[in-house]
Amino acid sequence: MLKILTVCGLGQGTSLILKMNVEQVLNEKGIQADVEHTDVSAASSMQADYIITSNELSESLVGHSAKVFIVNNYFDMDEIKSAIEENIN
Amino acid sequence: MKFLDSSIVKVGVEVGDAEEAIHAAGQLLVQEGLAEESYIEAMKNAYRKNGPYFVLAPHIAIPHARPEDGVNEASVSLIQLKEPVVFGHAMNDPVRLVFGLGASSSDEHLILLQKLTGLLNNPDNVNKLLEATKEEEIKTILEMGN
């Protein structure tokens, strides 16, 4: 199964919001994946296929084995949908 | 659990910068006993340390810290700023809606975030929150949304 991390600074709030909206898009598209939310320092040592985060935090994840991609507006389902379509095959 | 109850919503607030905006949103939580003063400091520290990543969408910031930083009850406050303030986010600046999230480790935390996401996923709601001139109007938006 695909493993996806949603990442924020503390792993408490915004990564959970992103996880909810990412899961909604994945469900709509029928993509099976395990989505976990976490903070940026924990993410560095976690295995995943994909990491979704903000532009600000993506720089801290350069070099991670997962493919890292960005969402700018966490409440724009269209943006989240296109980001997933472009990056997850 | 308190989600944008009228005592923790304020419209037309004037602040000088991002830290003052975070402070104002946190102050509402403290004033109602939902969080301790230490939580406001922790929110500001998180901003200094991790930057403005919590500006999650155009106009919208959701500052928060960790439950152990001094949250008494899972809660979300709202400060609508009279004048927009720059947080330093590349895409989503300037900010006018600041949701102070009192993070808890309980199930209520998840429920609050679901409510907040449900509210803000709808651009009409965001526009109405930006345009509101009285706290009463915010109450109406929330009632319509539920």
Q: How many other C-beta atoms are found inside a 10 Å radius of the C-beta of residue B21?
A: 26
**Cα–Cα dist A76/A71, whole Å:** 9
Task: Identify the three-state secondary structure at position B114.
Answer: helix
Residues in chain A with CB shorter than 8 Å from the CB of B119 are none
Percent of chain A with pLDDT over 70: 100
Q: Which H or E run contains B102?
A: strand B95-102
Amino acid at the residue B41 = E
Amino acid at the residue A84 = I
At the topology level of CATH, where does A2-84 sit? Rossmann fold (3.40.50)
pLDDT, one tens digit for every residue, chain B (146 residues)? 999 999 999 999 999 999 999 999 999 999 999 999 999 999 999 999 989 999 999 999 999 999 999 999 999 999 999 999 999 999 999 999 999 999 998 889 999 999 999 999 999 999 999 999 999 999 999 988 65
pLDDT of the residue at A75: 97
CATH architecture of B2-145: 3-Layer(aba) Sandwich (3.40)
**Active-site annotation holds for A8:** yes
CA-CA-CA-CA dihedral for A71, A73, A79, A84, to nearest 10: 30
* Per-residue confidence band for A51, with pLDDT thresholds at 50, 70 and 90: very high
Q: How many CB pairs under 8 A join A and B?
A: 77
**What residue segments make up the domains of chain B, in order of their start?**
2-145
Residues in chain B with CB shorter than 8 Å from the CB of A51 are none
ipTM, 2 dp = 0.90
pLDDT of the residue at B146: 54
* Residue found under tokens 């929110």: B43
Q: Is residue A4 within 8 Å of residue A48, measured between CB atoms?
A: yes
Q: Is residue B18 within 8 Å of residue B98, measured between CB atoms?
A: no
* Per-residue confidence band for A10, with pLDDT thresholds at 50, 70 and 90: confident
